[in-house]
Chain A
Amino acid sequence: MIIAPLLKGLGLTLSRFFSRPITVQYPEEKLTLAERWRGIHYFRKDESGAATCVACGLCVAVCPSRCIFLEIGERDDGRRYPKRYEIDELRCIFCGFCQEACPVNAIKLGGGYEYVKYQRSDFILTTDKLLAMYEGKE
Chain B
Amino acid sequence: MMEILYFVIEALVKNIVVIAVLMGFVAYVTLAERKILGRIQIRFGPNRVGPYGLLQPIADGIKSFVKEDVIPANADKPLFVLAPMISLFTMLCIFGVIPFGGTVHLFGRAVKLVIGDIDTGLLFVFAFATLGEYGIVLGGWSSGNKYGVLGSLRAAAQMISYEVSLGLITMGTIILAGSLRLTDIVEAQRHMWFVVYQPFAFILYLVAGLAEMNRTPFDMPEAESELACGFNIEYSSMKFATFYISEYTHMVAVSAIAATLFLGGWLGPFPSLPGLGPLWFFIKVCVLVFVFIWERATFPRLRYDQIMQFGWKVLLPLALANMVATAVVVALR
Contact = CB atoms under 8 A, between A and B. Distances in A.
Contacts of A16: 39-42
Interface in A1-44: 6, 9-10, 12-14, 16-17, 19-23, 25
A10 B36 CA distance: 13
Interface residues of B, number: 13
B298 A19 contact: no
Question: Could you say which of A14, A19, A21 has the most chain B C-beta atoms within 10 Å of its C-beta?
Answer: A21
B295 interface: yes
A42 B39 CA distance: 41
A23 B294 contact: no
Contacts of A17: 36, 39-40, 294
A10 B295 contact: yes
B317 interface: no
B107 to A, nearest CB: 44
B295 A23 contact: no
A6 B295 CA distance: 9
A13 B40 CA distance: 6
Contacts of B41: 16
Overall SS of chain A's interface: helix
B38 A21 contact: yes
Nearest to B36: A17
Contacts of A22: 42-43
Overall SS of chain B's interface: helix
Contact of B42 (A9, A10, A19, A25): A19
B298 A10 contact: yes
Contacts, number: 35
A12 B297 CA distance: 10
B44 A13 contact: no
Nearest to A18: B39
Contacts of A6: 298-299
A22 B41 CA distance: 9
Contacts of B40: 13-14, 16-17
Given A14-B294, A23-B44, A25-B44, A9 B39 contact: no
A10 B297 CA distance: 9
B36 to A, nearest CB: 7
A19 B38 CA distance: 11
Contact of B294 (A10, A19, A21): A10
Given A17-B36, A21-B38, A9 B43 contact: no
B46 to A, nearest CB: 12
A21 B299 contact: no
B42 A13 contact: no
Contacts of B43: 21-23
B12 to A, nearest CB: 41
Contacts of B299: 6, 9
A95 B299 CA distance: 44
Interface in A58-116: none
A28 to B, nearest CB: 11
B215 to A, nearest CB: 15
A19 B299 CA distance: 19
Contacts of A19: 42
The 5 closest A-B pairs by CB, nearest first: A23-B43, A13-B298, A9-B298, A13-B40, A17-B40
Given A12-B298, A14-B40, A25-B44, 10 more contacts: A6-B298, A9-B298, A10-B294, A13-B40, A13-B298, A17-B39, A17-B294, A21-B38, A21-B43, A23-B43
20 contacts: A6-B298, A9-B298, A10-B295, A10-B298, A13-B40, A13-B294, A13-B297, A13-B298, A16-B39, A16-B40, A16-B41, A17-B36, A17-B39, A17-B40, A19-B42, A21-B38, A21-B42, A21-B43, A21-B44, A25-B44
